[in-house]
Amino acid sequence: MLAIFAVALAGGLVLRAGAATVAASPSTAGQRVPVLGGEEPPTHAWSRFHARWYPMALLFLAFDMEMVFMYPWAVVFLEEGALALIEMLMFIVILLLGILYTWRERALEWS
């Protein structure tokens, strides 16, 4: 186990040293800014997002997780039959309840 850790550490250090030697160093502070092609960004990178973005992000994650679980389910559906259909319908109903709750709380309105 210690040998694996030593090899991983040595590999990381070699890759880091290689990246430092190959990478071109920017000459001015403005060129070191990682966004907007070297121009000054309008806001700071650590600025906070408005609270209305978080329900949208959670809603996106709900739909994203639905798709992540639907692909393997489609593969297994023919083997499992009605049980797989019932389980997927329960999953979709749970997501639908979350969307309806979000809608009822008016989190989807943009004002």
| For residue 11, pLDDT beyond 90 | yes
Distances (CA, A) of 104 to 32, 56, 58, 66, 101: 46, 14, 15, 21, 5
pLDDT band at 41 (very low <50, low <70, confident <90, very high): low
d(C-alpha 55, C-alpha 60), whole Å? 9
Q: Left, alpha or beta for 37 (phi > 0: left; psi -120 to 50: alpha)? A: left
State both tokens at 75.
């593969």
Q: Would you kindly state where each structural domain of the chain is located, as residue ranges?
A: 53-104
Mean pLDDT for 24-37 is: 64
Amino acid 95: pLDDT: 82
- Quickly tell me which residue has 């907007």 as its tokens: 36
d(C-alpha 83, C-alpha 73), whole Å? 11
Give residues with Cβ within 8 angstroms of 38, minimum separation 6: 26, 30, 31
Amino acid 14: pLDDT: 95
| For residue 46, pLDDT beyond 80 | no
Q: Percent helix, strand, coil in the chain (nearest 5)?
A: 70, 0, 30
